[in-house]
A and B are shown apart, each in its own frame.
Chain A
């Protein structure tokens, strides 16, 4: 089962910006996504940027990364180019239920 491009890119950026190895970086991003209600396979770039800015810092602080906010801001900047490449689309499930309730 392949993960999304933005997930792979975020993990690579996190690995580069910290002392994490590949496994730790992927595990940390996975946990951040899970607590935000997303799956690595389906998360979009817009969603990932928000998760990196608002959820990932706490995960990094919990793992002893001192400059967590700066690291996350840098990662968010670096993955931002993917946002324009793949604009956010609402989850199909959410879209169906919006139609069903007339909103």
Chain B
């Protein structure tokens, strides 16, 4: 079952890593904040945060101290990554909204507070077993920017589809918004599912139904995100032709 769950997780990590690097390369050329923020988000989650989390949880041969070090590195990296995703959503979709700016700047403090809570009440070694209110709070907080990204992408997709019918938006960009929304939704369900599982003392990766769920969602998220940011020409031609027809 772990192998099944690992297939989806591995696909998600690889796609996030490659897309993150590509978007960071784009940011280097354009010097624009949105591609830097989202590129950093994908790169840190897929390239560093998630792999370190898996190693800290599964590499039971390592000493507790080493595993805790990896866990801390993973948690801090993931918090930076989700903050970067929050910055992307704020700057792209709600640049003038004060509440959005406040939410983004409050987020790192809340993440740090949740980890401090974990360390002081349950201890970080309990976090290795996904136990403790602080780590649950941290997991919940890190789902928020992804949920926000999902809501904004589906909302904007619905606007662009209507505009595209009048020839006032690019159907390929509208489709990209939908695909990114699907990727976010899958990531959110994976996060929320794990959170609920941890709450009831279940590790989804070790549960048959949970492993199937994680694997399926990971694969769907990978495909959708890949098509959104690395669309093959045949795919974009198909989307454009469908809209024209």
Q: Is A58 an interface residue (CB 8 A)?
A: no
* Residue pair A93, B92 in contact (C-beta under 8 Å): yes
Q: Is B166 an interface residue (CB 8 A)?
A: yes
Q: Is A55 an interface residue (CB 8 A)?
A: yes
B50 to chain A, nearest CB (A): 21
Report, as a range, how many residues of chain B touch the other chain: 20 to 34
> Which residues of chain B are near A101, meaning CB under 8 Å?
172-173, 176, 228-231
- Taking CB as reference atom, which chain B residue is nearest A33? B162
> Which residues of chain B are near A100, meaning CB under 8 Å?
23, 26, 34-35, 38, 176, 228-229
Q: Which of A20-73 contact B (CB under 8 A)?
A: 35-38, 47, 50-51, 54-55
Given A36-B163, A101-B176, A103-B236, A96:B170 Cβ within 8 A:
no
* Residue pair A54, B166 in contact (C-beta under 8 Å): yes
Q: Is A87 an interface residue (CB 8 A)?
A: no
Looking at the complex, which one of A36, A50, A54, A97 makes contact with B173 (CB distance below 8 Å)? A97
> Which residues of chain A are near B163, meaning CB under 8 Å?
36-38, 47
* Residue pair B167, A99 in contact (C-beta under 8 Å): no
CA A89 to CA B160, docked complex, whole Å: 15
Given A50-B167, A50-B168, A103-B236, A96:B162 Cβ within 8 A:
no
A87 to chain B, nearest CB (A): 14
* Residue pair A96, B231 in contact (C-beta under 8 Å): no
- Taking CB as reference atom, which chain B residue is nearest A91? B169
> Which residues of chain B are near A93, meaning CB under 8 Å?
92-93, 156
Q: Which of B3-58 contact A (CB under 8 A)?
A: 23, 26, 30, 32, 34-35, 38
- Taking CB as reference atom, which chain B residue is nearest A55? B166
* Residue pair A99, B32 in contact (C-beta under 8 Å): yes
Q: Is B159 an interface residue (CB 8 A)?
A: yes
A39 to chain B, nearest CB (A): 9
* Residue pair A37, B173 in contact (C-beta under 8 Å): no
> Which residues of chain B are near A102, meaning CB under 8 Å?
231
B35 to chain A, nearest CB (A): 6
Given A37-B159, A37-B160, A92-B92, A97:B176 Cβ within 8 A:
yes
Q: Which A residues contact B (CB, under 8 angstroms)?
A: 35-38, 47, 50-51, 54-55, 91-94, 96-103
7 A-B pairs besides A35-B162, A93-B92 with CB distance below 8 A are A37-B169, A47-B163, A93-B93, A94-B160, A96-B32, A101-B230, A102-B231
